[in-house]
Amino acid sequence: MFSGHSLAQTGAVKVGVVNVAVLLEQSPQAKSASAGLEQEFSVQQQELIGLNNQMEQKQRELNRDRLAMTESQQNLREREVAILGREIQRKRNDVQELLNIRRNEELAKLQNVVNDAIREVGQREGFDLILYEGIAFTSSRIDLTEQVLRYMTELHEQPRSNFNR
């Protein structure tokens, strides 16, 4: 990509590498987004737990009372359990789909924050090139992940920062 002649004319190129996966996992913005999603979907999760407990209770009652029931009573109770099981599965799928949509929205926001932070650290530290995809090996000397993570933490701690979410 760079010829030896152009490097000799312009001086050394300052190159850095960032592990974006670490930033997407360990930054305070990522942790905040994750906690926000947990809180946002806690009601639905509790509802699913309640429905599951209800189905397990119905199943226990059916097993306990099976010998005292007529065949039609058994069939009715089995149908109730099956219907409840399908309702739980349908709600679980709906919640999972909504959670995935919201997770992708938050990830897109977070990726913008990460890119802005990398750009800011790169400019501040005078880097000519910062790479972050498809790196098989990098020396700790050029790894900027911790610097960018510190910068993101500083941004997160600033009041009224656009980068807090």
The model's pLDDT over 67-87, given as tens digits with 9 standing for 90+, comes to: 999 999 999 999 999 999 999
How far apart (Å, rounded) are the C-alpha atoms in residues 14 and 77? Answer: 72
The model's pLDDT over 75-124, given as tens digits with 9 standing for 90+, comes to: 999 999 999 999 999 999 999 999 999 999 999 999 999 999 999 999 99
How far apart (Å, rounded) are the C-alpha atoms in residues 100 and 103? Answer: 5
- Domain 4-164 in CATH: superfamily? Skp domain (3.30.910.20)
Alpha helices (runs of H) in 41-144, residue ranges in sequence order: 42-65, 71-125
The model's pLDDT over 23-60, given as tens digits with 9 standing for 90+, comes to: 999 999 999 999 999 999 999 999 999 999 999 999 99
Can you say how many angstroms the Cα of residue 89 is from the centroid of all Cα atoms in its chain? 23
Q: What is the pLDDT of residue 62?
A: 93
pTM: 0.73
Q: What is the pLDDT of residue 61?
A: 94
Residue-wise burial string across 138-163, b where 16 or more C-beta atoms lie within 10 A, e elsewhere: beeeebbbebbbebbeebbeeeeeeb
Question: What are the phi and psi torsion angles at 21 (to 5°)?
Answer: -60, -40
Residue 143 pairs with which residues in a beta bridge? 17
Q: What is the pLDDT of residue 3?
A: 41
Q: How far apart are the first and last CA of the chain?
A: 37
Q: Are 81 and 53 in contact (CB under 8 A)?
A: no
How far apart (Å, rounded) are the C-alpha atoms in residues 29 and 31? Answer: 5
**Residue with tokens 């490097």, as numbered in its chain:** 7
Q: Where do the structural domains in the chain lie, given as residue ranges? A: 4-164
